Amino acid sequence: MHESAPRDLRIDVSEILEDLAGSLDVDVDIALDPIVVGSEMFAPDGLAHVELSLTYAGTAIIAQGAVAVDVRAVCVRCLREFILPISADVEGFYVREGSETELPEDQEYEFIQGESVDLLPAVRAALALDLPFAPLHDPACKGMCPRCGKDLSGGPCDCEPEPTDSPFAKLKELFPETDDHTR
């Protein structure tokens, strides 16, 4: 049964907001919506396990940890659906509104909202970065025959090989083979 995915992963950080170098550990299982990478959609097959440590650094909260989830994927070569285990490093940087002007221009951040932070955007971004653009159920997958559609990983099909137009075909016409293979 598919569990409804939450719209956020809001964590109360009030206990560390006034404690420089205060730390809070998060260990939670959550449902996630499917993640789209390029033209591929990865639907979670169960709950995602999130383990993070949140540390207050005086002007920001730094989140570091990992997320792990199994996703359903489709092999781009043979179109076989398979389960792909994904584990990604999660990083988040959270500041109070108004203090973002002090950050370097290329610093990514989210806002501390009241006394909580939303970890879901960082979790989803980490997974999206680790998901493959071209998922393969096996790196040795041979794909499908373009003519009959048979999965070639199970063995060759019965199709005749297509003739290839070689750039040297005209040369072969100029020098026909003889019975003794001399020219």
Can you give the residue ranges of every domain in the chain? 10-130
Measured in whole angstroms, the distance separating CA 140 from the mean position of its chain's CA atoms is 20
Place of tokens 């990514």: 108
Place of tokens 């909580």: 116
| Residue-level pLDDT at 4 | 73
pLDDT tens digit string along 105-163?
Answer: 888 888 899 899 999 999 999 999 999 999 999 999 999 988 888 888 888 888 887 76
The span from the first CA to the last CA of the chain, in angstroms, equals 73
Question: What percentage of the chain reaches a pLDDT higher than 90?
Answer: 56
Whether pLDDT at 42 is above 60: yes
**SS3 assignment for 14-39:** CCCCCCCCCEEEEEEEECCCCEEECC
| Residue-level pLDDT at 29 | 96
